[in-house]
Amino acid sequence: MLEDLLNDGSGAIHTELRPLAAALAAAPKPDSVLSWFDQPGVVKANLKLLASGTVPITHAGLSTLMPWRSAAYLRDLLMKCGVLPQIDRYLIQFEQWLDGFLEAQHAPGRRQVLERFAAWEVLRQLRGSTGRRPLNHGMTESAR
């Protein structure tokens, strides 16, 4: 099953996803892994997009996957397996939220003011905090 999901098109597991395959195969509760795969098409489709190279195996690539919760869980697994470098998940989620929030701003000039404020004040503070300690839900909610 893993070979099919993580196939790079050559019949083999994508090289970068081999640590993920090994971790999933060694999971202490294989039934929970299988139930995760059986979410209505979401997990399998996202894994196939990564394995085929359609979506790059990067944090930016994962940010394009939907639904965001499934992509966030997949990101956590890939970081835990060493496939992706460690980053603060709350910062990534905030940045995704911010992109959507800014897209919804249609009043003339409002979006530019909010973008500047977000870049120079809010994101600067959040990114500075990640150097001292991991962000949490409350910190990003306050920033919103």
Domain count, the chain: 2
Residues 68 and 114 in one domain: no
The pLDDT tens digits of the residues spanning 16-50 come to 999 999 988 888 876 677 677 777 668 888 999 99
Residues 34 and 61 in one domain: yes
Residues 68 and 33 in one domain: yes
At residue 55 the predicted structure's pLDDT band, cuts being 50, 70 and 90, is very high
* Helix and strand totals (H; E) in the chain: 10, 0
Residues 11 and 56 in one domain: yes
Residues 49 and 113 in one domain: no
Domain enclosing residue 130, as ranges = 89-143
The position carrying tokens 């996202």 is 46
pTM (predicted TM-score) = 0.76
Residues 44 and 24 in one domain: yes
Residues 41 and 63 in one domain: yes
The predicted model gives 63-88 an average pLDDT of 90
The pLDDT tens digits of the residues spanning 94-120 come to 988 998 899 999 987 999 999 999 999
